[in-house]
Amino acid sequence: MRLYQILTMRGLAPHGYCLLWDPLLIWLHVISDAIIALSYFSIPVVLAVFLKRRRDVEFGWLVSLFAIFITACGATHVMSILVLWVPAYGAEGLIKAITAVASVLTALAMWPLLPKLIALPSPRLLQQINHDLHREAAERARMEEQLRQAQKLEAIGQLTGGIAHDFNNILAIVMGNIERATLGIDKPDRALGALANAMEASQRAAGLTEQLLAFARKQPLQVQRHDLSHIAEELVRLIALTLGEHIVLVTQLSKAPLPVDIDRQQLEAALINLAVNARDAMPDGGTLTITTDEVDQGEVLIMVSDSGTGMDSRTLERATEPFFTTKPVGRGSGLGLSQVYGFVQEAGGRLTIASAPGEGSRVTITLARGQSGAWT
Ligand SMILES: Nc1ncnc2c1ncn2[C@@H]1O[C@H](COP(=O)(O)OP(=O)(O)OP(=O)(O)O)[C@@H](O)[C@H]1O
Ligand SMILES: [Mg+2]
């Protein structure tokens, strides 16, 4: 009821009347209020566009509240123009009351937010952080590159060490056979046999350097079909004499063919490494046994066992690690079993070592049986 009375004009005089309808005063008020109102109304539009584009803004609700407050302010100035001619003082007061509520709410909301607003990072600070991040990323990339280089060098070191090592093994066979030929020069058959062995071993050494060159040229491995027993047989003939008289060499080769798809040079190097290890483990003599057999339809194996010193669990655990050796400096480089391991990995096979102190060692290489394709 009261509200109705306030809103109805009840014979009040319009505001222009107070100004005595002086055109100058009237227009001064009208133009000023109109400009203020338009400016006020434009601000919420700016804020709306801002909020629409920046949906991530944290205090969006505060911006909306502020927009309501500003709109209400604009409306009061429109009313100021209206009341010059129409005495709608009730409606004008009501809009002022709404503005008052909005202003109080906005002020109340803004004060507690002040610390947070102050803490917002400035564009300069953000730029600095961005710059630091870029520098850090560049630094990391540089360090990664350095690490890659170091790893490459290490890999090259291992590779050359490994090849030199295998080459040495063959060289020992060549020298052993030449020595044998020299000693047995009065027994031509024996001397000729030893020389033939030396020649064959030299050819293998040439094969090894070929392998190194192939690696340098990034050629793939020479994987071909071979018979496991056949390779073992040939190699045994070659190494038998160099093992020394105190070691008995026994072969247990499968009669059935055992086809495998491997790089022959690598398998031979692995078998020589295993034979040399077995020899070193039997300084007072013993038996070295080379066995080939089929595991099942899909797999075949070649095993080198000895009746030597054997390995304790700690040695067994680390035996295939590159450069791990228990031999005195100058005697072992620790690259033998790591070559064997590397070969088996590449061939997609399995390497198992069974050994205990005083009970000898048994190293088994299990390979997939070559299923189809031609023999070489
Ligand atoms: N048949 C074996 N009997 C006892 N110990 C073995 C046997 N084979 C390997 N080992 C142990 O494993 C270690 C590592 O062998 P690996 O062939 O890798 O290196 P190495 O024989 O010490 O040196 P390299 O072969 O480079 O001359 C050996 O030092 C030895 O302790
Ligand atoms: Mg060795």
Please write down the HEC assignment for all residues of 101-134.
Answer: HHHHHHHHHHHHHHHHHHHCCCHHHHHHHHHHHH
88 and 183 together in one domain: no
The stretch 210-223 carries a mean pLDDT of 71
pLDDT at 115: 86
* Cβ-contact 340, 366 below 8 angstroms: no
Residues 339 and 271 in one domain: yes
Residue 374 is assigned to a structural domain of this protein: no
Whether 338 lines ligand 1, by a CB cut-off of 6 Å, is: yes
pTM, two decimals, is 0.60
Tally the C-alpha atoms within 13 A of residue 365's C-alpha that lie toward its C-beta: 30
Q: How far is the CA of 3 from the centre of ligand 1 (A)?
A: 105
Helix (H, G, I), strand (E, B) or coil at 353: strand
Per-residue pLDDT averaged across 318-331, rounded? 89
Query: Do residues 103 and 229 both lie within one domain?
Result: no
Angle, to 10 degrees, between the axis of helix 264-280 and the axis of helix 336-346? 150
196 & 115 share domain: no
Looking at the structure, do residues 195 and 67 belong to the same domain, yes or no? no
User: Which residue, by CA, sits nearest to atom 17 of ligand 1?
Assistant: 336
What whole-number distance in Å separates Cα of residue 188 and Cα of residue 177? Answer: 14
Confidence band for 209, pLDDT divided at 50, 70 and 90: confident
Q: Is 51 a residue whose pLDDT tops 90?
A: no
Determine if ligand 1 sits within 6 Å of the CB of residue 326. yes
User: At residue 215, does pLDDT exceed 70?
Assistant: no
- From 247, 277, 290, give the residue whose CB has the most ligand 1 atoms within 8 Å, as the site to mutate: 277
pLDDT of residue 57: 78
pLDDT value for 1? 60
Instruction: Please report which residue ranges of the chain form alpha helices under DSSP H.
Output: 2-7, 15-18, 23-53, 60-85, 89-119, 123-183, 188-216, 228-239, 264-280, 313-318, 336-346
Give residue 219's pLDDT.
63
Residue 129 lies in a domain: no
Assigned domain for 220 exists: yes
User: Can you tell me the mean pLDDT for 194-217?
Assistant: 81
pLDDT attached to residue 290 = 97
Average pLDDT, stretch 52-65?
84
pLDDT above 90: residue 35: yes
Residue 218 has a pLDDT of 65
Q: What is the pLDDT of residues 265-290, one digit of tens each?
A: 889 989 999 999 999 999 999 999 99
The pLDDT assigned to 281 comes to 96
Domain end, chosen from 78, 96, 120, is at 120
Query: Which ligand has the shortest distance to the CA of 314?
Result: 1
For residue 167, how far is its CA from the centre of ligand 2 (angstroms)? 13
Domain, as residue range, for 113: 2-120
How much of the chain, in percent, has pLDDT values that exceed 70? 94
Do 257 and 212 form a contact (C-beta atoms < 8 A)? no
Low-confidence winner among 41-45, 88-92, 184-188 (lowest mean pLDDT) = 184-188
Chain segment 355-373, per-residue pLDDT in tens: 999 999 999 999 999 986 6
Nearest residue CA, atom 31 of ligand 1?
Answer: 326
Query: In this predicted structure, what is the pLDDT of residue 375?
Result: 60
168 within a domain of the structure (yes/no): no
Smallest-distance ligand from the CA of 282? 1
Q: What are phi and psi of 283, to 5 degrees?
A: -65, -25
Query: Is residue 139 included in any domain, yes or no?
Result: no
Ligand 1 geometric centre to CA of 145 (Å): 35
Closest to 343 in 3D by CA, of 258, 272, 284, 294? 272
